[in-house]
Chain A
C-alpha cells in the first residue's frame, strides 16, 4: 500500500514538472534542456534555507521559486531573442553548469555528499511526516501549480504562445513582442519547476546533485514528448506512463548495476522512436515537428 502511495507522491511531483515544461515545449515551441537544473535550484535553495537558517517552509518555497526565476533570466535574456538553436544550447550549457556548481561548491552545497536531514514541512506546528499526510500535502500543492498553469495557458497569453509556436512571423506582424512572451513563459515554467524541487526535497529528506543532472532533464523531456504536448491530457498521460515504466521494467529482472543505464537507454530509444513515428506522443495536440 505504501508503495502505491509512494508512486502517487512521485506522480504529483512529476505532474508539476511536466505541466511546466509543457508550457515551453508544447505551447511556445521552446526546447529547454535545463528543467532539471531549475528543479534542483528549488530543492537546494529551500533545503539550505530551512536547515541553515531555520526558515519556515512557505518562505523557503518562495525563495526557491525566486532563485529559479532570477537564474532563468540568465539563460533567457541572451538567448531567447535569437533563433532556437541558441536557446537549446544555452539551456544545455546552463544545465551542465548548475550540476557542476552543485557538485563543486562544496562549502555551500556539500558537493557530491549531498544534503541530509531536510525537515518536513509543518503546518500549525504539526509535522507532515506520514506518507498519506504528505500525499495530501503534495497533491494540494501540485493541484495549485497545475491550476495556475492551466489558467495561464487558457488565457490570451496562452493563445499568443501557441501562435508563436505556429508562426513567429505572422505573430510579429500582429504586433506581438515575441521575445517578451518567450521570456515570460520561460520564467514561469522555471519558477514552477522549483516548487517541484522543494516538494521532492521534503519528501526524500536527502538531496544530492545526481537527482538534478542532464539525465533528469532528458527524462522530463521524455515525459512531455511521450504524453504529448500542447494540451492538458498530454502531460497527465505522459507522467503516468513514465512513472510506471521503471516499475514495469523492474519485473524484467535487470541486474541492479545496470538498471539505471538500461532505463536511460529506454528513454533514449523512446525519444528516437517518437520523433520518427509519433511526434505527437500518446495524447498530444501538437505534433512536435
Chain B
C-alpha cells in the first residue's frame, strides 16, 4: 500500500484511538455501552467551534473551554443518567437504550442550533510537510502528537497511579471494589470525565482538520466500539490496536476501492472478528458464553 495511504491510516488511527480509549475505558470498567460518547464528541466539536469562531476566543482558551465542557458533559451523564440506573441494577439493555435516547436528544438539539451542513473552522490551506513521498499537514502531525501524549498519559495513569489501579480493579472485579469500601461513585465520575475529555480533545483536532457536522459522532462511535471489541476484551490497550487496524484498513479501502465504502470496512472487520476471534486481538481466549 502506497506510503501516503499508510500515513493517512496511521493518523486516522490516532484519532480513532483517542475516542476508542475513552469508550473502552468506560465500557470495560462500568460495563456501560456509552453510545452517547458519540454525542459528547459531536457536542465538543460544536462547543469548540462556538468558542473559537463565534466568540472569537483564542485557540488555547477555546481548547481548554471545550475540554472542561467535555468533562462536565460526561460527568452529568454519569451522575443523572447512568448512576441511577446502576444503583437500581438495570440491565445493559436498559442502560444502552437510555444512552441511545441521550444521543438522539442532543444530536438533534445540535442540529437544530447549528444546522445539518458541514461546518469548517478555517478555509485557509493547512501548512504541509513532506516526508519523502508522504505529505502530512500540520494538523495531522498535531493529531499524531496528541495521540502519543494523551495515550501515554492515560495508560500511565491507569497502570501507575492509585486511582488508575482502582479503575482497573473496577473493570476486573466490580463487587470486590465496593466491598473494599472504595467509593464507586467517585471512581465512575472519574472514568466518565477522563473518557469524555479524550473524546473532546479528538473532536477539537478533527474540527480543525476537516470541520464537522451533526453526524460525525455516530460514525466515530461505531469505529471506537468496533476497535474496542476487536482490540480485546478487558484490556485497555486493546482499543488502540483495534483503532489502528480500522484506520489502516479504511485507508486501504479508500485506495483500492473508493472512499464511499470506508464505513463498510468497520462492519466487515467486526463480523470477521466475531466469527473467528471474539475475544479480540489482545483478549484472553475463553468461552464468551460462559456462565
- Given known A89-B225, A93-B267, A265-B108, contact A275–B288 (CB-CB < 8 A): no
The yes or no answer to A92 lying at the interface (CB within 8 A) is yes
Interface string of B95-108 (1 = CB under 8 A from A): 11110111111111
B87 to chain A, nearest CB (A): 12
Contact status B92-A261, CB under 8 Å: no
CA distance A81 to B275 in the complex (A): 10
Contact status B263-A86, CB under 8 Å: no
CA distance A104 to B260 in the complex (A): 6
CB-CB < 8 A to A252: which residues of B? none
Please report which residues of chain B, range 211-226, place their CB below 8 angstroms from some CB of chain A when the two chains form the complex: 218-219, 222, 225-226
The yes or no answer to B33 lying at the interface (CB within 8 A) is yes
Interface string of A263-289 (1 = CB under 8 A from B): 011011111101110010000000011
CA distance A29 to B85 in the complex (A): 18
Contact status A288-B101, CB under 8 Å: no
- Given known A100-B264, A101-B264, A271-B101, contact A92–B92 (CB-CB < 8 A): no
Chain A minimum-CB-distance residue to B219: A96
Contact of B98 among A82, A262, A276 (CB under 8 A): A276
The yes or no answer to B157 lying at the interface (CB within 8 A) is no
Contact status B97-A271, CB under 8 Å: yes
Contact status A264-B97, CB under 8 Å: no
Contact of A289 among B90, B104, B229, B260 (CB under 8 A): B90
The yes or no answer to A144 lying at the interface (CB within 8 A) is no
Contact status B100-A218, CB under 8 Å: yes
The yes or no answer to B156 lying at the interface (CB within 8 A) is no
Contact status B84-A276, CB under 8 Å: yes
CA distance A31 to B92 in the complex (A): 10
Contact status A261-B267, CB under 8 Å: no
Most B CB within 10 A of own CB, among A84, A92, A267: A92
Chain A minimum-CB-distance residue to B275: A78
The yes or no answer to A94 lying at the interface (CB within 8 A) is yes
Please report which residues of chain B, range 239-280, place their CB below 8 angstroms from some CB of chain A when the two chains form the complex: 260-261, 263-264, 266-267, 270-271, 274-275, 278
- Given known A88-B33, A279-B94, contact A272–B218 (CB-CB < 8 A): no
The yes or no answer to B181 lying at the interface (CB within 8 A) is no
Interface string of B70-112 (1 = CB under 8 A from A): 0000000000010011000011111111101111111111011
Contact of A271 among B100, B218, B260, B275 (CB under 8 A): B100
The yes or no answer to B117 lying at the interface (CB within 8 A) is no
The yes or no answer to B60 lying at the interface (CB within 8 A) is no
CA distance A215 to B218 in the complex (A): 12
Most A CB within 10 A of own CB, among B84, B92, B267, B278: B267
CA distance A240 to B97 in the complex (A): 21
CB-CB < 8 A to A288: which residues of B? 93-94, 97
Most A CB within 10 A of own CB, among B33, B84, B112, B229: B112
Most B CB within 10 A of own CB, among A93, A214, A221, A279: A93
CA distance A33 to B289 in the complex (A): 22
The yes or no answer to B179 lying at the interface (CB within 8 A) is no
Contact status B105-A269, CB under 8 Å: yes
For chain A, what secondary structure do more than half of its interface residues adopt (helix, strand, loop), or is it mixed?
A: helix
The yes or no answer to A225 lying at the interface (CB within 8 A) is yes
- Given known A88-B33, A261-B111, A279-B94, contact A96–B229 (CB-CB < 8 A): no
A181 to chain B, nearest CB (A): 14
Contact status A92-B222, CB under 8 Å: yes
Contact status A262-B104, CB under 8 Å: no
The yes or no answer to B160 lying at the interface (CB within 8 A) is no
The yes or no answer to A143 lying at the interface (CB within 8 A) is no
B110 to chain A, nearest CB (A): 9
Contact status B96-A31, CB under 8 Å: yes
The yes or no answer to B291 lying at the interface (CB within 8 A) is yes
Contact status B261-A104, CB under 8 Å: yes
The yes or no answer to A10 lying at the interface (CB within 8 A) is no
Contact status B93-A31, CB under 8 Å: yes
CA distance A269 to B102 in the complex (A): 7
Contact status B266-A93, CB under 8 Å: yes
The yes or no answer to A85 lying at the interface (CB within 8 A) is yes
CB-CB < 8 A to B109: which residues of A? 261, 265
Contact of A96 among B81, B105, B263 (CB under 8 A): B263
CB-CB < 8 A to B229: which residues of A? 86, 89
- Given known A97-B263, A104-B261, A265-B104, contact A221–B97 (CB-CB < 8 A): yes
CA distance A63 to B107 in the complex (A): 36
- Given known A93-B222, A93-B266, A269-B105, contact A78–B93 (CB-CB < 8 A): no
A277 to chain B, nearest CB (A): 10
22 contacts between A and B (CB under 8 A): A83-B288, A85-B92, A88-B33, A89-B229, A89-B270, A90-B270, A93-B270, A96-B219, A169-B291, A261-B112, A262-B112, A265-B104, A265-B108, A265-B112, A268-B102, A268-B103, A268-B104, A269-B105, A271-B101, A272-B105, A275-B85, A288-B94
* Chain B residues within 8 Å of A, Cβ to Cβ: 33, 81, 84-85, 90-98, 100-109, 111-112, 218-219, 222, 225-226, 229, 260-261, 263-264, 266-267, 270-271, 274-275, 278, 288-289, 291
10 residue pairs, one from A and one from B, having the closest CB atoms: A268-B104, A271-B101, A268-B105, A78-B274, A272-B101, A261-B108, A104-B260, A93-B267, A264-B108, A268-B101
